[in-house]
Amino acid sequence: MFRFLLRRLMVAVPTLFLVVTAAFFMMRAAPGNPFDSDRKLPPEVERSIMAKYGMDRPLGEQYVAYVSNVLHGDLGPSLKYKDKSVAELISEGLPTSATIGLSALTLACLVGIGLGIIAALRQNQMIDNVTMAIAVLGVCIPTFVTAPLLVLVFAAKLGWLPTAGLNGIRSLILPVTVLALPQIAIISRLTRAGMIEVLRSNYIRTARAKGLSEARIVLRHGLRAAILPLVSYLGPACAGLLTGSLVIEKIFSLPGLGKSFVIGALQRDYMVVMGVVIVYAGLILLLNLLADIAYAMLDPRVRLS
């Protein structure tokens, strides 16, 4: 297992370095700078500000200095938010984004696995066809379409839920649901396909011949093997939830990392954008690593290979 983890880390660390490098030079290649505004600053003032943040130096020197600071745990100051560091902004927005993402992932797994099992046990019947049809719609319709529709129905028309903002658990229901819907569709399809294959295997026939109940066969013997494809998908699924939360947080005006990222990108706040990119990339790589570990624990053949 140690060698397995070491191989994964040897891939994850260079990947994070490449992501940071690409984001740094892409941000610097964008036109304009953080201090452009409708009211033009005097040249001497602008030069002074650029020198204060080290932006008057050659691009290569800026890159080396930034990477060195990041390795020492310093993400730098925000260029637009006065008297605030990037670390402070991230610490303020990360709990909201983590709450939304983890809640959406939990909801997607519970509902998706349940629907997949039901569809597999009723293969080619009405409930199977309806479930898979809904799953296809869930994959095809993007979140920026479903979000306004759910707001229109449950907030504007029925008045059951708030339209935007963060004020209690009720304000999280719509964003979590919108974020989870595409993942529910994919997880249900993966679970159904895996469960159908497992239920046709010889050891399941043996379990049925021994007189075990169908619930025990499915939940104890079949589910562990059936969710192997799902476990390998959970890493990219978490990545999808993280990146999708950027849109959701903007639509529902939630004070998460997505809001800081969008505002930072629009205002050319290089430090904030880079800090959020590092956090997102690190979380994605970590979640993929955890998915690989879970897969190896469920399937010993992965560790042996």
Q: What integer pLDDT is reported at residue 187 of this predicted model?
A: 87
Spell out, as residue ranges, where the chain has pLDDT lower than 50. 304
pLDDT digits (tens, 9 = 90+) for 195-205: 888 877 777 77
Tokens of 280: 């997102």
Q: What integer pLDDT is reported at residue 265 of this predicted model?
A: 78
Q: What integer pLDDT is reported at residue 179 of this predicted model?
A: 87
Collect all residues with Cβ–Cβ distance below 8 Å to 4 and sequence separation of at least 6: 292, 296, 302, 303
Q: What integer pLDDT is reported at residue 86 of this predicted model?
A: 85
**Alpha-carbon torsion 232, 237, 243, 249, what sign?**
negative
Q: What integer pLDDT is reported at residue 33 of this predicted model?
A: 67
Q: What is the C-alpha to C-alpha distance for residues 216 and 226, in angstroms, rounded to an integer?
A: 14
The SS3 assignment for 85 reads: strand
Q: What is the C-alpha to C-alpha distance for residues 196 and 246, in angstroms, rounded to an integer?
A: 35
Q: What integer pLDDT is reported at residue 243 of this predicted model?
A: 63
* Domains, the chain, ordered by start: 86-304 (1.10.3720.10)
Q: What integer pLDDT is reported at residue 236 of this predicted model?
A: 72
Q: What integer pLDDT is reported at residue 300 of this predicted model?
A: 62
